[in-house]
Amino acid sequence: MENTKQMIPVWFWVGIMMLIYGILVTGAGIYYLINPPQSYAAKWTNPNLWWGIIMLVVGVIFMFLGRIKKESN
């Protein structure tokens, strides 16, 4: 029985971080969509929601790429 330790690629960890931040920012965007503050400069474009969704997608892509690199080694 061989005890080999494989390192997890950095892209997998970056993907997890982006996924967590994306969840938080998307949650804030949904909250501001439901309960908009009185003085919110970008309330019609809702950048929190858009950037949160982008961060979620990028996080999933990075996690997928990190998993592929790990399995190919």
Q: What is the pLDDT of residues 7-53, one digit of tens each?
A: 888 888 899 999 999 999 999 999 988 888 787 676 678 889 999 99
- Tell me whether residue 5 is in a domain: no
Give residue 58's domain range: 10-32+43-72
- Tell me whether residue 20 is in a domain: yes
> What is the band of 66 on the pLDDT scale with cuts at 50, 70, 90?
confident
When divided into structural domains, the chain yields a total of 1
Confidence at residue 43, expressed as pLDDT on a 0 to 100 scale: 66
pLDDT value at 4 more than 80: no
pLDDT value at 72 more than 60: no
57 touches 23 (CB < 8 A):
no
Alpha carbons 44 and 56: distance in angstroms, whole number:
21
Confidence at residue 41, expressed as pLDDT on a 0 to 100 scale: 73
- Tell me whether residue 3 is in a domain: no
- Tell me whether residue 2 is in a domain: no
